[in-house]
Chains A and B, each alone.
Chain A
Amino acid sequence: MNDKRPVNLDIGTMRLPITAWTSITHRASGVFLFVGMAVLLYILDASLKSPESFATLKECLTSPIAKLVLWAVVAGLIYHSLAGVKHLIMDFGIGESMQGGVLGARLVIGLSVVLIVLAGVWIW
């Protein structure tokens, strides 16, 4: 190694490639989902407790804010799952090249957008 070369390890000053973006958003979506699971558990609770709480829940889920929260959690789940599956595929040694990584990242983003929009249509 030529140790006279300048070294920059400050990630804040770098332009992130698409693979880095899918990586950090996979992480962010994972943390978000951990909190989001409380919402899903709450919904499952209300949906199974009694016919009355089921009806109340249904009523509550007609409000735009409730729909938005649910959509956000579902969107996180869709993105995190697709990026997770990409991880599994790469663990099998598929698509580990530079081009493969970029293609994988593009596929994850593209598929996520489509599925998240569809989920939004379904919720509304």
Chain B
Amino acid sequence: MVRAVTSFGRSGLSDWLVQRVSGVILLAYFLFIGCNLIGGVDYIAWKALFAQTWVRVFSLMALLSLAAHAWIGIWAVLTDYLTERLMGTKGNVLRVALQLLVIVTIFVYVVWGVQILWGY
């Protein structure tokens, strides 16, 4: 059996489920943010919203969901197109390089988000 060492959960079924749960969390979060923005906000109200612990925790949850969701999603895309079958050895090199770039980007997003939520 071939082991997919770069997938998120090392199991297709696990990745499938995490992809769905994280999608629903992200959707709930964006709806929440949308509801708060729709009437327009000033700095005081916006700042007060994000001063609440539960909003920060919800935001962190969305951020971590984004990390898992993007890892699984981009992995699916890369392993479909940048493959040895389609491009030869070059495909493997390109895929792993891009996968690394994506993981670094995800890491930056998470750290940046935490910095925004708790840093100001």
Which A residues are within 8 Å of any B CB, using their own CB?
Answer: 27, 30-31, 34, 37-38, 41, 44-45, 47-51, 54-55, 77, 81, 84-85, 87-88, 91, 122
A54 — which chain B residues lie within 8 A by C-beta? 43, 46
Q: How many A-B residue pairs have CB under 8 A?
A: 49
Q: Mark B102-120, 1 if CB is under 8 A from A, else 0.
A: 1001000100110010001
Does A30 lie within 8 Å of B120, measured CB to CB? no
Q: Which secondary structure dominates chain B's binding surface?
A: helix
Give how many B residues have a beta carbon under 8 Å from the other chain's beta carbons: 22
**Beyond A37-B109, A41-B116, A88-B23, is A81–B30 a contact (Cβ under 8 Å)?**
yes
Q: Which of B33-59 contact A (CB under 8 A)?
A: 38, 43, 46-47, 50
CA distance in complex: A81, B116 (Å) = 25
Whether A41 and B73, one on each chain, are in contact in the complex, defined by CB atoms closer than 8 angstroms, is no
B116: A residues at CB distance < 8 A: 41, 44-45, 48
| Chain A facing B: main interface SS | helix
Which of A47, A48, A85 has the largest number of chain B CB atoms within 10 A? A48
- Contact between B66 and A84, CB atoms less than 8 A apart: no
CB-CB under 8 A from B50, the residues of chain A are: 48
Cα-based distance from A34 to B47 in the complex (angstroms): 26
Distance between Cα atoms of A121 and B43 in the complex (Å): 23
**Contact of A48 with B70 at beta-carbon distance under 8 Å, contacts A81-B30, A85-B27 already known:** no
- Rounded to whole angstroms, the CA-CA distance of A30 and B66 in the bound complex is 11
Contacts of B23 in A (CB 8 A): 84, 88
Cα-based distance from A91 to B70 in the complex (angstroms): 20
The residue that A81 contacts in the complex, of B27, B46, B112, B120, with Cβ under 8 A, is B27
